[in-house]
């Protein structure tokens, strides 16, 4: 059960890392790690079930008097053939990526709201207006007309601002960032696009591009299913390494942007 061991070691290492952080519970800078920890553990449990299924089919585990139970039969069926194996594995990986990115998004929104001043927030919310001004010649609209247009184009909340704009704003505020900013920007752009394709059953819509993550290679072609080479297949390592890199970017950001106050997780009950 080497893969289950790998996942648990990953989770335990994350817990150790959390204990070394200078932040407290209910601060988004800490809560991000707690949410990622929960996501990883939620992956572990059904993956463990998958490995138990393998053991039963290899005659290394016997359920005894329960062997004819319909639920035990369902566990056995999980790894009976390549189709059921792939379906289960793909479902786990998809949920891991979706949940990790959603956690990153809400954390970035909350962190931005906490560390950015009023002018920086307004600039983010007014990104559509800023883009409009770049494509319209200056002599086409008066200042009065621009003043009327701006509030109509202003986004109501940071959650509706493209995440890359928000992470770019955070990178600009970072002092002594411990990683390569340009590499991390490329990774976030890739990760966000990969996550978005999951809403269209992995079919990508946009300009074609390729992305290498170590020895893993991803190919995005317009209106085609995303293709990738996984050097760790059939293990879950690639997906945990992707989430681990996302976690490391978050850690580098919160460590390089000084803010002494609390930044509470939104809408705490």
Mean pLDDT by 10 residues, the chain (269 residues): 94 94 92 96 94 88 86 88 89 95 96 94 90 80 80 87 95 96 97 94 94 97 96 95 98 95 82
| CA-wise closest residue to 177 among 80, 86, 254, 231 | 254
267 is a domain residue: no
**What is the Cα gyration radius of the chain?**
23
251 is a domain residue: yes
268 is a domain residue: no
Q: What is the pLDDT, as a whole number, of residue 241?
A: 98
Q: Which domain holds residue 179?
A: 2-256
Q: What is the pLDDT, as a whole number, of residue 153?
A: 81
Residue 192, Cβ neighbours under 10 Å: how many? 16
266 is a domain residue: no
Q: What is the pLDDT, as a whole number, of residue 269?
A: 47
- Rounded Cα distance, 237 and 240, in Å: 5
**Which two three-digit tokens encode residue 184?**
């991390």
CB 242 within 8 A of CB 9: no
Q: Is 3 helix (H, G, I), strand (E, B) or coil?
A: helix
Q: Is 39 exposed, middle or buried (0-12, 13-18, 19+ CB in 10 A)?
A: buried
* DSSP code, position 265: P
- Rounded Cα distance, 142 and 121, in Å: 25
CB 188 within 8 A of CB 257: no
| Strands, sheet with 227-229, edge to edge from the N-terminal-most edge strand | 209-213, 216-220, 227-229
264 is a domain residue: no
- Rounded Cα distance, 182 and 187, in Å: 9
- Rounded Cα distance, 110 and 102, in Å: 12
92 is a domain residue: yes
| CA-wise closest residue to 99 among 150, 148, 154, 32 | 32
| CA-wise closest residue to 98 among 208, 14, 202 | 202
- Rounded Cα distance, 53 and 73, in Å: 9
**Which two three-digit tokens encode residue 209?**
């591009």
Domain total in the chain:
1
Handedness of CA 5, 6, 11, 14 (dihedral sign): positive
263 is a domain residue: no
28 contacts: CB under 8 Å, gap ≥ 6: 107, 110, 111, 114, 263, 264, 265
């Amino acid at each position: 059960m080497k893969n289950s061991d790998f996942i648990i070691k990953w989770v335990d290492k994350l817990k150790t890392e959390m204990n070394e952080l200078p932040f407290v519970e209910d601060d988004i800078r800490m809560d991000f790690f707690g949410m990622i920890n929960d996501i990883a553990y939620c992956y572990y449990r059904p993956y463990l079930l998958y490995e138990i299924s393998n053991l039963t089919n290899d005659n290394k585990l016997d359920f005894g008097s329960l062997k004819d139970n319909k639920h035990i039969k369902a566990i056995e069926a999980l790894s009976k053939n390549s189709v059921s194996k792939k379906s289960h594995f793909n479902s786990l990986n998809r949920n891991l990526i979706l949940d990790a990115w959603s956690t990153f998004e809400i954390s970035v929104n909350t962190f931005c709201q906490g560390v950015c001043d009023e002018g920086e927030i307004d600039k983010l919310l007014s990104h559509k207006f800023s883009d409009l001004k770049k494509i319209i010649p200056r002599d086409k609209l008066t200042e009065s007309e621009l003043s009327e247009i701006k509030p109509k184009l202003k986004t109501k909340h940071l959650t509706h601002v493209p995440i890359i704009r928000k992470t770019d704003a955070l990178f600009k505020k970072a002092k002594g960032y411990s990683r390569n900013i340009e590499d991390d920007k490329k990774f976030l752009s890739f990760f966000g696009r990969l996550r978005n394709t999951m809403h269209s059953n992995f079919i990508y819509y946009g300009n074609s591009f390729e992305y290498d993550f170590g020895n893993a290679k991803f190919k995005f072609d317009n209106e085609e299913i995303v293709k990738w080479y996984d050097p760790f297949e059939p293990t879950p390592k690639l997906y945990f390494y992707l989430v681990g890199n996302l976690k490391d970017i978050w850690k580098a950001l919160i460590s390089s942007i000084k803010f002494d106050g609390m930044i509470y997780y939104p809408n705490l009950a």
